[in-house]
Amino acid sequence: MRKWLIIICLAGATATTLWLRKTPDGDTAHQEQIVNHCLRSLAHGDYETRNEARVALASFGDSATALVVRALDNRPGIFDRALTRLGRHVSWLRFDPSTDHQLRQRAAEQLASKSLCEHPAAIPALIRALTDDSSVVVEEAQRSLRRLGPEAAVPALAQALTSRNKTIRLHAAEILRDLGRDASPATPALLALLRDREATIRVVAAHALGNVGGEAALNALIAGLTDKSPLARAAVAFALGSMGPGAAPSAPHVRQRLADPDTNVRVASARALWQITGDATASVPVLIATLNRPNAWDSALALGAMREAASNAVPALINLIQREKVPRPLREMPVSAMALGQIGMPAVPALIDITAHRDARVRTSAAIALGFVGVKAEPAIPHLVPLLRDSDADVRRAATLALGNIDSGQHASALIPALIRLANDEDIFLSSLAASTLERVDPEAAASVRRE
């Protein structure tokens, strides 16, 4: 009984699906099949096949846009999705959906092409595609709207910010954020979006206004520092920082956020205050206090960006470099090593101290950081040379690259052979780094490696 009930339900669902589908006339259906075939061929690995598909699409003239728009709008309905899922488990049920995300992705891509983009249906279709269930299609639609350029896309995107659909508002704001100052005609709509009921949308609106700039955006962002959502407050602070000295009137308000109850807001405000005023005095202690978090990369990167002005953070970053458990520091750069390298000379004595650390990963990170410092880390050379014979291969590699950036030629007898060995390493990334370093240190030796 249950089996027959399932069969009846499936049959009814299939019939309903077919009935709900808009069946075009014969000529249109044939054209749709050709266009869909062309769209799929655009993803083919063969260049000639892709070129032939473009030529075929262009041969349809103005009607091509309408057919491509139809392909983009043709999304699987609830019954299509249900039957597709059931088809994976019921061997005798064959159901071929009329669309898939690859087809819609290619359709979104083509609506930005020169032959189709001028049709009045192209941009509205791309805006509608922002609600597609597939993130691949959404990203392609966003890419196409960017490709169309500000003059064509910004008016439609500004209108999209007023949509009742929050997904459209979010993705449209993301495009305007990426357009930067070119999105300035959409400023009034972005100002309204900064009061959206969705915090994630207010976050994107804040970033967009920071990129657009202007007095209206500045005043709205200052007001946004008191947003009830920590995510939005952090985004507003970040946006004000991205405006740099031009956001000077916001400095007193950003300074108040250094005592915000949310850690992310404090970090964003500390960096923003330094970007706006150029003074790291108040920011560095706030960032140091947040380095004990499990994911403190943003604090470390902010301190590194402040360079020698963040010298007071060296002890805390040295502590962090010993806590960071990066499996392969040479390939996944520890942010603490990067920050210490950017701080430069003030970090060198503390980095020298940990070149003899018992943990090979710490020794590797110390060598990487000293390499970032460059010639100013010359006092570390006597401590790096012994690492060329370290028992750990990554330590030897890091020391070799660091010495190549630091040494002025005094230790060439030890460094050149190490660089030659590393230039022949199986790791292509490391071998290329060693080869470029060797080219600078000893061009003749580099030439011998190339001959090999």
In a domain, 253, yes or no: yes
Instruction: Note whether residue 117 is domain-resident.
Output: yes
Are 144 and 202 members of one domain? Answer: no
Shared domain check, 142 and 36: yes
**pLDDT band at residue 46, thresholds of 50, 70 and 90?**
confident
Q: 342 near 307, Cβ under 8 Å? A: yes
* Residue 31 covered by a domain: yes
Question: Would you say 439 and 421 are in contact if contact means Cβ atoms under 8 Å apart?
Answer: no
Q: Is residue 192, in this structure, part of any structural domain at all?
A: yes
Give the CATH number, domain containing residue 259: 1.25.10.10
At 201-238, the pLDDT tens digits run 999 999 999 999 999 999 999 999 999 999 999 999 99
> How many CA atoms within 13 Å lie on the side-chain side of 282?
21
Three-state SS at 234 = helix
**Does some domain include residue 340?**
no
Query: Is residue 148 within 8 Å of 114, Cβ to Cβ?
Result: no
Cβ(375)–Cβ(344) under 8 Å? no
Alpha-helical (H) ranges within 148-296 are: 150-160, 166-179, 187-193, 199-212, 215-224, 230-242, 251-256, 263-277, 283-289
**pLDDT value at position 17?**
47
Residue that terminates a domain, selected from 278, 312, 346: 278
Q: How far apart are CA 98 and CA 143, in angstroms?
A: 24
Spatial CB neighbours of 244, under 8 Å, sequence gap ≥ 6 = 275, 276
Same domain, 144 and 32: yes
Which residue range(s) make up the domain with 130? 27-148
Residues 35 and 87 occupy one common structural domain: yes
- Which of 278, 296, 317 is a domain's end point? 278
3-state helix, strand, coil in the chain (%, to 5): 75, 0, 25
Confidence bin at 67 (pLDDT 50/70/90): confident
Three-class secondary structure of residue 59 per DSSP: coil
Distance, CA of 446 to CA of 90 (rounded, Å): 63
Shared domain check, 233 and 139: no
**pLDDT tens digits, one per residue of 399-414:** 888 988 886 666 666 7
Whether 40 and 134 share a structural domain: yes
Residues 384-398 pLDDT 10s: 988 888 999 899 889
**In 278-359, where does DSSP find H-type helix?**
283-289, 297-305, 314-323, 335-343, 348-353
Residue with tokens 């655009």: 42
DSSP reduced 3-state for 96:
coil
Structure tokens at 85: 């899922």
> What's the total number of domains in the chain?
2
d(CA 449, CA 443): 10
Kindly indicate the confidence band of residue 21, based on its pLDDT and cuts at 50, 70 and 90: very low
Report yes or no on 286 lying in a domain.
no
Q: Mark which of 278, 310, 344 sits at the end of a domain.
A: 278
326 Cβ contact partners less than 8 Å away, ≥ 6 residues apart:
332, 333, 334, 361, 365
The answer to whether residue 106 sits within a structural domain is yes
Question: Is residue 278 predicted with pLDDT exceeding 90?
Answer: yes
116 falls within a domain = yes
